[in-house]
């Protein structure tokens, strides 16, 4: 069977241990051990010399990818629109930050970017000038072969106006350098589960089939998970139904694990939860 859907890990999952009981190589080892083939890093967290890329880091990075047979799957970065005192970032300043990230991502071998834009309300709508900023860097994104993907994450819904605006933007411009990252938290339908921290028990959610019309624009999926049981079931998000929809509708790309549960700073705990989640995904995928 052709493996169109691949399993990866965002090493954000290890953020309670990273820099204390785990280093970058430990993350690669752990991923290799569970059969994950793609890595997501957060530039601001996991590149030591950020916002500069050092030769030393680049050579270590290449060697780790080769040794552990892991490919760069997604590069997380931010447009921190509140970087300046008494004013928001200008378009030119945002452009400078973005192009710097394109160059680093390209050098490290990433094509898909999770572009986190500053948001302005509880539904996580992006800052109003986002279109002008993104338009101004499309040529550079093409040059560095990267696709900027804002992440759609709880409490947003897939049909929220700003998601439709992203789709319209892609259709109007015809760009191949802007897409969507869907975080599976939008499908979370159970909140009152022991050991799960939830800020709002009444959060709205989508049904799995709601993703179908968006799939042509989806370049990456965050396999968000909160709680695994010992029979390899995730207790808050309907994984079997979601993955079935993705398989039946031809999604090609990564499911990148993002652990959002408890005990992140207990050594070994997250590694164990990630393994359980990957067993679950393997069983549903059938490979």
Partner 1 sequence: MYEDFLVRTDSLENVVENGETTGFKFAVRNANYRGIFLSLVTSFYVEMDGEEFPIDDIRFAVNGAAPRSMEELKKAVFEHWDMQDEAYLYVKKPGGLEKGTHRLGYMPGTIDGYGYKATDAEWVDNPPQPGKGGGKTYHVCNFTLELN
Positions marked catalytic: 153
The yes or no reply on residue 203 touching partner 1 (CB under 8 A) is no
Q: Which is nearer to partner 1, 71 or 93 (CB)?
A: 93
Among 2, 87, 201, 202, binds partner 1 (CB under 8 A): 87
Residue 131 Cβ, how far from partner 1 at the closest point, in Å?
Answer: 18
The yes or no reply on residue 15 touching partner 1 (CB under 8 A) is yes
Angle (CA) 44 22 16, round 5°: 65
Q: Which is nearer to partner 1, 15 or 136 (CB)?
A: 15
Q: In what order do the strands lie in the sheet with 218-225?
A: 147-149, 112-117, 71-79, 38-42, 5-10, 253-259, 218-225, 180-183, 151-152
Residue 100 Cβ, how far from partner 1 at the closest point, in Å?
Answer: 9
Which residues, 129 to 168, sit near partner 1 by CB under 8 A?
A: none
- Residue 285 dihedral angles phi and psi, to the nearest 5°: -70, -30
Q: Which is nearer to partner 1, 46 or 224 (CB)?
A: 46
Q: Find the length of the chain.
A: 287
Q: Which is nearer to partner 1, 37 or 88 (CB)?
A: 88
Which span sits near partner 1 by CB under 8 A: 58-66, 115-123, 166-174, 244-252?
Answer: 115-123
Is residue 127 reached through a cis peptide bond, with omega within 30 degrees of 0 on the bond before it? no
Q: Which is nearer to partner 1, 226 or 246 (CB)?
A: 226
The widest CA-to-CA distance across the chain, in whole angstroms, is: 56
Residue 150 Cβ, how far from partner 1 at the closest point, in Å?
Answer: 11
Q: How far is CA 99 from CA 136, 207, 232, in A?
A: 10, 36, 41
Among 120, 189, 213, 283, binds partner 1 (CB under 8 A): 120
Size of the site for partner 1 (CB under 8 A): 33
Beta strand segments in 120-216, E: 147-149, 151-152, 180-183
Asked if 28 and 68 count as a contact pair (C-beta separation under 8 A), the reply is yes
Q: How far is CA 42 from CA 114, 154, 178, 245, in A?
A: 9, 19, 18, 28
The yes or no reply on residue 44 touching partner 1 (CB under 8 A) is yes
The yes or no reply on residue 62 touching partner 1 (CB under 8 A) is no
The β-bridge relationship of strands 151-152 and 180-183 is: parallel
Write down the H helix ranges in 144-224.
Answer: 161-173
Among 12, 68, 166, 187, binds partner 1 (CB under 8 A): 12
Which residues, 248 to 277, sit near partner 1 by CB under 8 A?
A: 264-265
The yes or no reply on residue 200 touching partner 1 (CB under 8 A) is no
Write out the residues near partner 1 by the rule CB under 8 A.
12, 15-16, 18-20, 42, 44-46, 48, 50-51, 78, 80, 82-88, 93, 116-122, 124, 264-265
């Amino acid at each position: 069977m052709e493996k169109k859907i691949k399993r990866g890990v965002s090493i954000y999952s290890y953020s309670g241990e990273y820099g204390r009981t785990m280093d970058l190589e430990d993350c690669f080892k752990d991923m290799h051990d569970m059969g994950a083939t793609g890595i997501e890093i957060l530039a601001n967290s996991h590149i030591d010399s950020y916002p500069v890329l050092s030769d030393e880091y680049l050579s270590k990075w290449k060697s780790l990818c080769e040794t552990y047979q892991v490919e760069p799957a997604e590069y997380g970065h931010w447009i921190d629109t509140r970087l300046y005192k008494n004013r928001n970032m200008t378009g030119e300043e945002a452009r400078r930050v973005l192009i710097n990230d394109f160059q680093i991502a390209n050098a490290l071998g990433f094509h898909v970017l999770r572009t986190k834009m500053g948001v302005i309300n509880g539904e996580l709508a992006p800052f109003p000038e986002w279109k002008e900023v993104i338009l101004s860097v499309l040529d550079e994104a093409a040059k560095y072969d990267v696709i900027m993907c804002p992440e759609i994450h709880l409490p947003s819904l897939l049909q929220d106006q700003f998601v439709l605006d992203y789709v319209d933007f892609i259709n109007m411009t015809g760009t191949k350098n802007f897409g969507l990252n869907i975080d599976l938290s939008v499908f979370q339908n159970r909140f009152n589960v022991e050991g799960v921290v939830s800020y709002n028990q009444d959060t709205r959610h989508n049904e799995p089939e709601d993703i179908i019309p968006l799939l042509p624009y989806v370049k990456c999926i965050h396999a968000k998970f909160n709680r695994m049981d010992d029979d390899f079931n995730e207790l808050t998000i309907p994984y079997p139904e979601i993955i079935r929809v993705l398989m039946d509708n031809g999604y090609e790309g990564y499911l990148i694990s993002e652990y959002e549960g408890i005990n992140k700073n207990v050594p070994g705990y997250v590694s164990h939860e990630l393994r359980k989640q990957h067993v679950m995904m393997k069983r549903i995928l059938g490979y």
